[in-house]
Every structure is written in structure tokens, then in C-alpha cells.
Amino acid sequence: MRAFRVEDLNGTMGLAEIARPQPGPGEVLIALRACGVNFADLLLTEGRYQEKPPLPFTLGMEAAGVVEATGPDVSELVPGDRVGVFGRDGGLAEAGVFPADRCVKLPGSMSFETAAAFMIGYGTAHVALSHRARLQPGETLFVTGAAGGAGLTAVELGAAMGARVIASARGAEKLARAKASGAAEVIDSEAPDLRASLRSLGGVDVVYDTVGGPAFDEALRATRPEGRLIPVGFAGGGVPQIPANLLLVKNLTVLGVYWGGYMSFRPEVIRESFTELFALFEAGRIAPHISALLPLARVEEALDLVRSRKSTGKVVVTIG
């Protein structure tokens, strides 16, 4: 079968023919139909992600397809089930073996392409905003990198949760995309003095930061007393160094969110989150924006769209 393989961390990667895997205990074999592309995939290819699969490996963190076979000790899934899967790797292939506990059955109305764009972005945003930050209706949510795969889901979900959303992105086209997804106010990320802009809009209660660097620092200083800040990525800057004195005098809270980590210590958080998210999807209140659909033969082009930030929302690779 075909799979997009990372051979080393020096840029050697591409499509290869490999043996079709077989599921072991607690695993399922999935005939894959689509795979979402994430900024974290780029970090994996460079060895800069917090998890490092042994080389060589098949790239692809979130995918969707049909269960083809199950290993021993798997009872909750059967061949023919339509599922989404969220793993560290393995999604950019014609088939893959994954732990059964990392698979969720898809709503009947959700296509494979939609599912491949849904899992990580909405999963992270929902756990961050609902479970960690306890975002309330009427509060103001500020989202950086708001037109990307991570930020746009937070904009849409925050609006669905009743928050007033302020979105930051680069350029008129991306700002328009954020507006269309529910942002009440938008700020160009290249405009000067982000702190002054946020304060002129009344300040913020919750910051969902996908960018890091100066944007986080400016948002920190525009956060209201008892505000919450959620650093979820550092796509455009360095890792923020947070001055504890500001946290003290404004009674602020900084919340770490490593979504995948919940599978190791509180998997029920992710399961319950997906139940709520699928209900929102079926009610027509959320739906991922897919800006590019590319076949498996064009994975490198898909990765470049994410790397260059030319895409909005999600880039999805179709398989089969």
C-alpha cells in the first residue's frame, strides 16, 4: 500500500510502498479515506514535536475511514464502522493500524473529509475553552492566528458558546474568514500596538493563543482581572516567558492544554468532548472550513500550504 513516509529528520520524506499492517491486541485496521494536515505534522518531520515516533514513520495525526479488521480485545468497534482517528502519526496512508481507544464513530451526516478536518482542531479548542478555561456566555474571547486550522475552530466554537470573539489574523481575506466564522471584531496581526487595540475594545477575558511571541505578551497586558490565558501553540513566535508579577496583580490564570495528553490520564474528557462537539455539528452550529482538498500524491504540496500559511482553516488530503 502507499504511505507518506518520513525517513529521517533532514527532509527525506515521500510516498513509498509498504506492507499493509495487521492489528494487534486493542488495535483496529482502518481503510483510510482522508487525513487532515496540521502544523504539528511539520514539527514532527523536524523532530520538534513533544512526541517523537521512531523513524521511519508514516505522517498524519488525524484521519478518517472505515474499520477493516479488529485485533483481540476490541469489542466497541466492528468492521464497517465509519470512524475518525486521532493519533500521533499514521494517517497519510491507504490504511493504518491504530489503538481502538483513539477512534470515535462518526455521525452519519459527517463526511470523511469533514471528519479529517474536525478531530484535533475542535477537540483542542473545546477542551481548552470549555473544560479548562470555563468560557462563559457574554465573556470576551481573543484568538490569535484566527484564520488557521487551530484558531478558526476556536473562533467558531467560542461564538457557538455565546462569547464575544475578537480575532487576529494577517490580511483582509483571512480577517473576512474569521468574521464569517463568528468573530464580532477583527484585528490585523500586522497592525501596531495590539494591546491598545484590545483595550479599546474593552479588554478580554480569555486568550486562545496559537502564535506565541509578542502577540501573547500584548494580549496578556490587555486581559481583564481574573482572565485566563491558553497558550496552545507557537506557530509564529517564540515560547512566551510569562512575568509572574502580572499574574499576581491582575489575578490571572495561565492554562496549559496538551489535548492528546488527556488520553493517558483522563480519556473520558476527550470522549465527553466529542459527544458535545458532534451534537453541535449535527445541529448545524459548527462545521470545519476546508480551504484545500488534495490527493495523496500531492502531500508535499499540502504540507507547504500549511508551512507557508497560504491556507485558511484546514488542508485535507483525500485517499483512495
3-state secondary structure 230-298: EECCCCCCCCCCCCHHHHHHHCCEECCCCHHHHHHHCHHHHHHHHHHHHHHHHCCCCCCCEEEEEEHHH
Of 208, 241, 259, the last residue of a domain is: 259
**Residue 279 included in any domain:** no
Q: Are residues 197 and 293 in the same domain?
A: no
What residue numbers bound the domain in which 111 lies? 2-118+288-318
Please state, in angstroms and rounded to a whole number, the distance separating the CA atoms of residues 251 and 24.
Answer: 49
Give me the numbers of helices (H) and strands (E) for the chain, helices first please: 11, 16
Q: What is the pLDDT of residue 152?
A: 95
Characterize the bridge pairing of strands 204-209 and 140-143: parallel
User: Are 65 and 139 found together in one domain?
Assistant: no
Q: Where are the alpha helices (DSSP H) in 46-148?
A: 112-116, 119-126
- Specify whether 177 is located in the same domain as 245: yes
Residues 6+ apart with CB under 8 A from 266: none
Query: Which residues are CB-contacts of 90 (< 8 A; sequence separation ≥ 6)?
Result: 57, 58, 60, 63, 96, 97, 98
Same domain, 249 and 168: yes
Q: At what angle do helices 149-160 and 172-180 cross, to 10 degrees?
A: 40
- 162: in domain: yes
**Torsion, CA 4, CA 262, CA 130, CA 119, rounded to 10:** 20
Structural domain includes residue 283: no
Q: What is the structure's pLDDT at 237?
A: 64
Domain match, 202 and 301 both: no
- Do 128 and 254 belong together in one domain? yes
Q: What is the pLDDT of residue 125?
A: 97
Q: What is the pLDDT of residue 65?
A: 98
Assigned C-alpha cell, 22? 495487521
Longest dimension (CA), the chain: 59
Side chain identity at 143, as an amino acid letter?
Answer: V
Considering the domain architecture, whether residues 305 and 178 belong to the same structural domain is answered as no
Q: Are residues 302 and 242 in the same domain?
A: no
Same domain, yes or no: 85 and 147 = no
292: in domain: yes
pLDDT 10s per residue in the chain (320 long)? 999 999 999 989 999 999 999 999 999 999 999 999 999 999 999 998 888 899 999 999 999 999 999 999 999 999 999 999 998 899 999 999 999 999 999 999 999 999 999 999 999 999 999 999 999 999 999 999 999 888 999 999 999 999 999 999 999 999 999 999 999 999 999 999 999 999 999 999 999 999 998 999 999 999 999 999 999 988 776 788 899 999 999 999 999 999 988 988 999 999 999 999 999 999 999 999 999 999 999 999 999 999 998 888 999 999 97
Specify the pLDDT at position 225: 97
Alpha-carbon gap, residue 168 to 163, rounded angstroms: 16
Tell me if 199 is assigned to some domain.
Answer: yes
Check which CATH number belongs to the domain holding 294 and give it: 3.90.180.10
Are 167 and 37 contained in the same domain?
Answer: no
Residues 103 and 17 in one domain: yes
Instruction: State the total domains in the chain.
Output: 2
At how many degrees (to 10) do helices 119-126 and 267-282 cross? 110
Answer for the pair 318, 296: CB distance below 8 angstroms, yes or no. yes
Evaluate whether residue 13 is within a structural domain: yes
Rg (CA), the chain: 19
Coil, strand, or helix at residue 208?
strand
Closest alpha carbon to 217 in 201, 239, 233: 239
Is 271 inside a domain boundary? no
Pairing of strands 140-143, 164-169: parallel
> Residue 20: what pLDDT?
95
Return d(Cα 77, Cα 235) in angstroms, integer.
Answer: 36
The verdict on 139 and 246 lying in the same domain is yes
Q: Classify residue 267: in a domain, yes or no.
A: no
- Report d(CA 141, CA 207) in Å as an integer: 6
